[in-house]
Structures are given as structure tokens and as C-alpha cells.
Structure 1
Amino acid sequence: MQAEKTKGRIYEFEMTDIDGKPQKLSKYKGHPLLIVNVASLCGFTPQYKDLETLYGQYKDKGLRIAAFPANEFGAQEPGSDAEIKNFCLTKYALSFDLYSKISVKGPSIHPLYKYLTTESGLAGDVPWNFSKFLADKDGKIMARFGPDANPTGKDITSAIEKALNP
């Protein structure tokens, strides 16, 4: 059973937050989690605002968002973690979790993204910045959305509602 095999697997990963502190993804147990690879110089960068709106709409119901800066696509995230944090706080007043820059494809792909793109049940390379994976309350990846999927659009909000009320 693919679903049982991957259930809770994201909780095995430890990441580094934007301030350089280790964070276990197990802190998200019991919460739906939207995982997004982000970039500051991308045509999709305005989705930060939509992600913040989405978070404001659903955080009290349990939704969590984890954003992972990546520089693989058009070198659109060239800055340091400090520069990325400053940009996100100054321009978008982000309040959801922002992590240290990682690789989301290629030979140096981070193990979390290797899992998401090969073993999660929704395999396939990340095509561009602002690709999204939604994990349910048990850590099973239940949906995947492309970069052009608006975070406040019906496809994503319907999936979040389903994750919040299985």
C-alpha cells in the first residue's frame, strides 16, 4: 500500500530554518502542511502575498506552510538566507515558516525534495519556483500543485479544506 508506506514520512526530515536553527518537520504532526519552493526574483514571487493570505485564513484551523527558497530555476534566488528573510519580511510581512535555501532538483537535491519528487506517491521533478505539495495531518502527501496554481484559488483551498476535515 503506497499510502501506508509514505504516511508520516515527511516527519523524518530535519531542516534548517532561515535563521540557521535546526527544525524537525515532526513539529507539523497533526497539521496539514503546504510545502512550497520559493524565489525572490520570479514572476510567481507575488504568490508570497497569496500564501500569507492563505495562512491567515487557515492557520487557526491548523494549516501550516513551509517555504523553501531555491535557486535552481533561472538563478531567481541568488541571495543569502539573511537577504531572503529581509526581503520576505519587508515586502510581504511573512508569518509562516521560512527555511534556509536548499536544492529542489539536480545532483544536490535535498533529501526532502528527493522524497517528494520520487517516493511521495505524486512523483515527478519540480518544474519551477512556487510548486506546492500538500501533506495531510498524518504527513501523507495528498496533493500537488504547479507554480501557476494560485494559493488562494479553489483547487488549493478545496484540498486544504479536505485535509482539515477528512
Structure 2
Amino acid sequence: MSTPRDDDALSWGGDDDPTLDIGEKHAPTPLPGGEVEAEPIEPLQPAAAPVTRHPEPARFEPVAVEDVDDEAQDAAHAAPLGNVGLVGIGMVAATFLLFAIGWLLAGLRLNGLGLPIPSVTVIALTIGAALAPVVWFVAVLALTRSWRTWQRFLLLIVGIVLLVPWPFLSLGAFA
């Protein structure tokens, strides 16, 4: 037997709201043989209108090319990168980071060679050269968001080819 306190644990505040009643609840009446009377089963109602599996295609009116929104086209072309794209972006980012370190090391090497250029100029050019790969990478990713993935990777590869730290490669790491 349950106590009212046990019933309170199984209720929720506002359960006695009359709008939540779904109908009259009653227990099935037992028959004289100990059997329980079954509730009557209502027949299924047929659907109001038959549902067709292949509706007729909608008719579209032609639209002028000028009316098409460029942003809608860009959004249609831009798709999120998959796993391969994200790994590729990571590898390109690591390459650009190594290039930045290479330009920094090469610039510091050039500063100690006794070139007839003021050292302030060499330091400024070294900082600019070290930032160039990072700026290229960020600029390509930021400015080509609506471009296709292969176009973005093409620009990143062009940046890799253009920004190779040749002074670092020609001088060597420990020359």
C-alpha cells in the first residue's frame, strides 16, 4: 500500500492542471469467470486524401541572371572541409610555420655577415620576410571562404612555392 507521501514523490508540480486530462480513466470490469473485459477496438479511419508517392514537379519561371544573388551562389559553392581537407590545411599551416622560422633564421644569419646595409634595415626585412608566410596563409583562408576547396589549396600551394626561404637553404642551417 502506498502512502500519500510516496505518491508525492511520483508527481510533478502542476499535475492537477485540468487542461492536462486526456480523458476518463477507468479500470476494466471483471467478468463472472474472473476474466477481464477487453476494451472495444475502433476501426481505422481511411485517410482523407490519397497520398501520391511521386508528386508532379513544380513549375519554375525563368529568372534573369542579374536577379541571382551572388552571396547565394557563393554559399552554394562553399562546403565545409572534410577530414582530408582539415589534415591538408594543417600540413600546409605547418609548412608555412617552418618557412617563417627559416626566414627568421636566414635573416639573423645575414645580419652577422657584415653586409653594407644598415642592421635596422636587415632586421626590418627579416621580420617582414618571417611574417610573409603567416600573412599569406591567413589571407588565403580569410579571403577565399566562399571558394571551392581545390581553389583554396591551389592558392596555398602557390604561396608555398613563392615563399620558400632560399637564403636559409643556400646558407645552410649551421654555416
Structure 1 length normalisation: TM-score? 0.20
Q: Which has the higher contact order (CA 8 A, sep 6+)?
A: 1
Structure holding more helix per residue: 2
Between structure 1 and structure 2, the one with the greater Rg is 2
| TM-score normalised by length of structure 2 | 0.19
